[in-house]
Structure 1
Amino acid sequence: MDNQTKPDWLVENDDGSLTINFESRPPKIDGTEVKSLKMREPFVDDQLAADSAGSSSALSEIALISNLCEISPEAVRSMTMRQYSRLQTALSVFIG
């Protein structure tokens, strides 16, 4: 995904991580509205750990996203699909 096609809410940081912004409808994580999340670039070990943690591809993806954003899998599962799709888009920048 190049800068021309990258959504406005997705920002690439100097360290290679991505910031995902949730402007109008931020998710609640541990009872607090979170207007942005930082997703670090994954290592191969992150993918291997996620694969072993989940019994399906969806559970593995949730495990990977939660690890990269340093939030619990439960926090990811409690997001709306619109919020979750932003995390999936960010992940696809790294592995797409």
Structure 2
Amino acid sequence: MPIDIERTKNQARAILDSRITSVEELVKARQKVTDLKEQLATAERDDKRAYVKATRDGWSPDELKKLGLEPAAIARRRKNQAKTQTTTDNNPTGATAPGHEDTQSN
């Protein structure tokens, strides 16, 4: 039975098309991550400016803290410390799991 070149080319195109689709999905997902990181960076800058404005308008850091409005850097640090504590609690030997090295400096 002879090989049908057109049929073979069509099958190859179908395989390539499915592979291209998966790469397109990956690119879209990566772009979404990039866009969200940019949005987060903008939101964090806006948050910092608003916090500074609140303190310039007369709010003390203690008053803002009582309202649950700590500076974002402190809130992030505490959240990261809580995660570290949970990891330590779940790992009584104190060994660091691969990929979870503590690179944050205080």
TM-score interval (norm. to shorter): under 0.3
What TM-score do the two structures reach when normalised by structure 2? 0.21
**Structure with the higher fraction of residues in helix conformation:** 2
**Structure with the higher fraction of residues in strand conformation:** 1
Greater relative contact order (Cα 8 A, min sep 6): structure 1 or 2?
Answer: 1
Specify the structure having the higher radius of gyration (Cα): 2
